[in-house]
Amino acid sequence: MGLSLKTINYRRISWHILFWVVLSVFYDAISSYVSDTPFFPTLFHDLKYFFPSDFLGVYFTLYILIPKFLFKKKYLSFVLFSLLFFGILILLVALPLQYYGLFVEYKQDFIREGKPFPSLYDYMSRNFLMAVTLKLMIIGIASSIKIAKNWLVSQQRQQNLMKEKLEIDLQLRESELRFLKSQINPHFLFNALNNLYSLTLEKSDKAPDVVLKISSILDYVLYECNVPQIDLDREISNINDYIDLQKIRYGEDTDIRVTVNGETGNAKIAPLLILPLVENAFKHGLDKNVGKGFIEIEIDVDEDKNFVSVIKNSLKGEKNHNKEGIGILNLRKRLELQYSGKYEFDLQINDDSCTTLLKLQLE
């Protein structure tokens, strides 16, 4: 992580030295006990005539056979080359070297005792099985450590990649959510400003109230909505401000009914989630040119924070209102991003009305 290559090499060398020290001490401690010989002479003998072949076997396996074949999933090649190398190691290196050590250090003892010194063939025949067992054990231990380490490194790498992917996905989700929020229809602001302009020309007492409501909506959209969750009461308050502005446009006697039931005070919801449905209701439910329509908004929250919103509006003057607009499509995307598996959304359209049903499990 912040280590240099030099430091990493020293660490690796230290672990290798520790492996060989532990292995040699453990093996020779048992060997000296079984043969009833002093520990250090046994250790020095094995370092000269036994461990060189162990070094060759271990490091050829770790740095050639395993990386070239096993890690590349060439299993048959790994088995065949391992058998070939192991045979060469035992027959041409390990046993001849051990025999040479026996010849150098113990031939005079055989001569002094009048015993015939064994031939190389006899020595290899008697010690072949023991040599195979010991080499397999040593190489197997080292290989197991190598494979386990590689697995751990691979798992850590996968976890890091998954973490990076999650961070990227989160950033993309946040970017997409910001974009979807920005798609909320801004026409209401244009209409509200036009209405405000008309009221100022008429010097109406309503003008200051309209300014306050526009200011409240802008403050909510620009500053308060930059969080994943917001108080449901604040979301409802913003919707009421929006409805009050629309009433100025369509007239106070417009048939707009809003009902809120249940405990909304402790519930939180994703900001600007209900507003697109209310905008859609005004867009398709009221039309000055064809007479009055109606809009009914009902919001319920139960004790378990199950949120239900039912919005119904008339479709007077509507033609071919069978396709979902960009507001509803964006809402569906936001629901999938923020409430995946925890929401139900349905839109029903008939000849004279449109009804949207939204169910959420709130926090």
Q: What is the tens place of the pLDDT at every residue in 316-354?
A: 655 555 566 777 888 888 888 888 888 999 998 887 889
Structure tokens at 84: 């070939």
Segment 41-58 mean pLDDT: 86
pTM above 0.85?
Answer: no
Torsion of the alpha carbons at 76, 80, 81 and 84, rounded to the nearest 10: 170
- Give the separation between CA 53 and CA 170, rounded to whole angstroms: 54
Mean pLDDT across the chain: 82
Is pLDDT of 31 > 80?
Answer: no
Segment 283-302 mean pLDDT: 78
Contact 224, 271 (CB under 8 A): yes
Segment 252-259 mean pLDDT: 83
Q: What is the DSSP string of 291-319?
A: ---EEEEEEEE-TT-EEEEEEEEE-TT--
Of 14, 16, 43, 34, whose CA–CA distance to 141 is shortest? 16
Is pLDDT of 49 > 80?
Answer: yes
Domains of the chain, earliest start first: 50-175 (no CATH), 183-361 (3.30.565.10)
Q: How confident is the model at residue 174 (pLDDT cuts 50, 70, 90)?
A: low
Q: How confident is the model at residue 290 (pLDDT cuts 50, 70, 90)?
A: very low
Is pLDDT of 39 > 90?
Answer: no
Sign of CA dihedral 37, 43, 47, 53: positive
Let me know if 297 is exposed, middle or buried by CB neighbors in 10 A (0-12, 13-18, 19+): buried
Place of tokens 């446009």: 249
* CB crowding 113-144: b at 16 or more within 10 Å, else e: eeeeebeeeebbeebeeebbebbeebbeebbe
Is pLDDT of 358 > 90?
Answer: yes
Of residues 71 and 165, the one with the higher pLDDT is: 71
Segment 104-121 mean pLDDT: 80
Is pLDDT of 41 > 90?
Answer: no
Alpha-helical (H) ranges within the chain are 5-35, 39-49, 51-60, 75-88, 95-113, 120-182, 187-201, 207-219, 232-250, 275-285, 326-338
Segment 167-185 mean pLDDT: 62
Please tell me the predicted confidence (pLDDT) of residue 318: 56
Structure tokens at 85: 């190398």
